[in-house]
Amino acid sequence: MIWITSVIFTLTYLGLAIGRVPGLRMDRAAIAFVGATLMLVAGVLTIPQAVSPESIDYETLFLLFGMMAVVGCLRISGVLARLTNWSLGRIRTPRAMLAMTILLAGVLSAFLVNDIVCLAITPLVIHLARRLRFDPLPHLIGVATAANIGSAGTITGNPQNMIIGIQSRIPYLRFAAHLLPLAAIGLVVDFLIVAWVYRDPLAAVPNDDARVIDGDASPNDRAPNAASSSGRPNLSRQRKSVVWLQRKSVVVTLASVAMFFAGFQIALVAIAAAAVLLIDPIKSKRIYDQIDWSLLLMFIGLFIVVHAFGDRVVATWGIGQWRQLLAHPVGELSVAAAVLSNLVSNVPAVLLFEPIMRAVPDAARQNAWLALAMSSTFAGNLTVLGSVANLIVIENARREGVAISFTEYCKVGIPVTIATLTLGIAWVEFMTS
Classify residue 429 by burial, with Cβ atoms within 10 Å: 0-12, 13-18, 19+: middle
Which residues have CB under 8 Å from 399's CB, separation 6+?
none
Distance CA 253, CA 147 (A): 18
Could you tell me if residue 2 is inside a domain?
no
Q: What's the whole-model pTM score?
A: 0.83
**Predicted confidence (pLDDT) at residue 415 exceeds the cutoff of 70:** yes
Give percent of the chain above pLDDT 90.
41
Tens digits of per-residue pLDDT, 225-245? 444 444 555 556 667 777 888
- How many domains is the chain partitioned into structurally? 1
Structural domain range at position 85: 55-291+319-432
DSSP line for 240-293: HHHHHHHHHHHHHHHHHHHHHHHT--HHHHHHHHHHHHHSSSS-HHHHHTTS-H
Name which residue leads in pLDDT, 2 or 110.
110
How would residue 220 be classed by pLDDT, with cut points 50, 70 and 90? very low
Domain assignment of residue 302, yes or no: no
Is residue 328 predicted with pLDDT exceeding 70? Answer: no
Which pLDDT value is given to residue 226? 44
| Domain-embedded: residue 29 | no
**Residue 115 maps to a domain:** yes
Residue 27 lies in a domain: no
Residue 21 lies in a domain: no
Q: Is residue 176 part of a domain?
A: yes
Distance CA 339, CA 247 (A): 42
